[in-house]
Amino acid sequence: MDLTLTADEEAFRDEVRTWLADNNPGPEPDGDDSAKFEFQRTWQRTMHDAGWAGVAWPKEYGGRGASLLEQTIFYAEMARAKVPRPANILGLVMGGPVVMAHGDESQKERFLEPILSAEEIWCQGFSEPESGSDLASLKTKAVKVEGGWEVTGQKVWTTLGHIAKWCMLVARSDFDAPKHKGLTYFICDMEQDGIEVRPLVQITGEAEFNEVFFEGAFVPDENVMGGVGNGWMVAITTLMNERAGLGASAAVGLQNDLENLIELINERGLGSDPILRQKIAALKMGTEALSLGAMRSLSQQIKTGIPGPEGSVAKLQWGSINQEMTELATEILGPAALGKDSDWGYKMLRSRANSIEGGTSEVLKNIIAERVLGLPKLR
């Protein structure tokens, strides 16, 4: 057991840290969403020019080919330096990996580089109004036509749908097959008449997500990913990419917030309140356990190829700590913290989604029960 970094790992961390310090573009501009997005796009270009955008991607596809541990260090350092997130986040963590895993040579040639450079933004068309946790029940229809497929249906929770060039779209191509088998994974061009994108306003008042309506949208055959009827298997790869490696950088973000909160408590002369002290200590312990669990899971993955069970609770841990911390902050700050433009007020509202997005806590517990503990399936 050795929790310190080796000389090589430390050198890598220092390289990342120095580069981030020299190139940090500062906080995102306030207000206008498109200005914010352009800021993130410029930041991703800066990262890409220095070879950091695809830190986890293999070198042959324009990435840095970093090891699992180096990726973890990189994401943790990004969180520590509080740099913005790259604009094309879904393309980088989901779209690219799926193309690399399931795409043919011409698809790799066509799609990968513009993901890294943020020239083409990607969005995800999985969830539907009637298909949330039960994703495989989705009904968006793909009908075979000359040279491709015609898609009709509705997707929801589509981040960046209004800006994206490409949509990772899962649709039902065979209504007679069993529900997991009749799906196909498409890469759908968002810039066409058969698609309408409407912003979905959330409880924070902003619209991070969209509803997307497909009315006979066309996808050419060459944009089928992983073969007709294999959509479920391809989609699962995407979701696993979404969940991998979250823990360590999430813990850094929580630690930053916790330090701010402690400062705030002390400024208000509440540092000696015994109940607050208990709650703050519990948040610290949860944050450390998240970070340490991520490292244990990663060590296991490096050694055996399979992440340890600790990692399966990471998203639950992160969501519950973030929700508890933001609730506590608004309790301490009183009604003034609930101003619409206040940071903690916003964070408290936004955190309500943490136990829903990317797999609800209930679905995650089903997965832990079935796959980690080996309990019988409900269905």
Partner 1 sequence: MNFGFNDEQQEIKATAKSFAQSRFKPDVVRKQVESEPGGFDEAVWKELSELGWAGIAVSEEHGGQGLGMVELVILCEELGYAVAPTPFLANACAGLALEWAGSDEQKAAHLGGIATGEARGAVGSPDVFLDAEGAAVPIVFDEDGARILDPNSVTFDKLDLIDETRGYSEPSSVDGEALTGDLDAASGRMSVAVAAELTGIAQRAMDMAVEYAKERHQFERPIGAYQAVSHRCADMLYAVEEARSLTYYAAWAADEEPDSLALAASMAKARAADAAWEVAKSSIQVHGGIGFTWEHDLHFLLKRARASGQLFGSSSAHRERVAGLIGMAA
Q: Is 369 in the site for partner 1 (CB under 8 A)?
A: yes
Q: Is 362 in the site for partner 1 (CB under 8 A)?
A: yes
| CB 170 within 8 Å of CB 138 | yes
| CB 33 within 8 Å of CB 39 | no
Please give the distance of CA 254 from its chain centroid, rounded to a whole number.
16
x/- letters, 16..55, toward partner 1 (CB under 8 A) = ----------------------------------------
Burial 135-171 (b: 16+ CB within 10 A, else e): bbebebebeeeeebbbbbbbbbbbbbbbbbbbbbbbb
Sign of CA dihedral 315, 85, 236, 217: positive
Site for partner 1, residues 144 to 173, rule: CB under 8 A:
none
Q: Is 355 in the site for partner 1 (CB under 8 A)?
A: no
Q: Is 286 in the site for partner 1 (CB under 8 A)?
A: yes
Q: Is 256 in the site for partner 1 (CB under 8 A)?
A: no
Task: Please select the residue that binds partner 1; options are 201, 282, 306, 331, rule is CB under 8 A.
Answer: 282
What is the rounded distance in angstroms from the CA atom of residue 30 to the CA atom of residue 51?
A: 28
| CB 234 within 8 Å of CB 185 | yes
Task: Please select the residue that binds partner 1; options are 278, 306, 331, 339, rule is CB under 8 A.
Answer: 278
**Residue 242 is among the residues annotated as catalytic for this protein:** yes
User: Going by C-beta distance under 8 Å and a sequence separation of 6 or more, which residues neighbour residue 260?
Assistant: none
Measured in degrees and rounded to the nearest 5, phi and psi for residue 198 equal -120, 130
Residue 40: what residue type? Answer: Q
x/- letters, 289..308, toward partner 1 (CB under 8 A) = x--xx-xx-xxx-xx-----
In angstroms, what is the minimal distance from the CB of 72 to partner 1? 9
Q: Is 3 in the site for partner 1 (CB under 8 A)?
A: yes
| CB 122 within 8 Å of CB 153 | no
Q: Which of 70, 77, 120, 242 is catalytic?
A: 242
Task: Please select the residue that binds partner 1; options are 313, 325, 329, 348, rule is CB under 8 A.
Answer: 313
Query: Which CB, 68 or 228, lies closer to partner 1?
Result: 68
- Give the bridge partners for 373, in sequence order: none
Q: Which residue has the tokens 């990189």?
A: 74
Q: Is 309 in the site for partner 1 (CB under 8 A)?
A: yes
Q: Which residues bind partner 1 (CB under 8 A)?
A: 1-6, 9, 69, 259, 262, 265-266, 269, 271-272, 274, 276-278, 280-282, 284-286, 288-289, 292-293, 295-296, 298-300, 302-303, 309-310, 312-313, 316-317, 362, 364-366, 368-370, 372-378
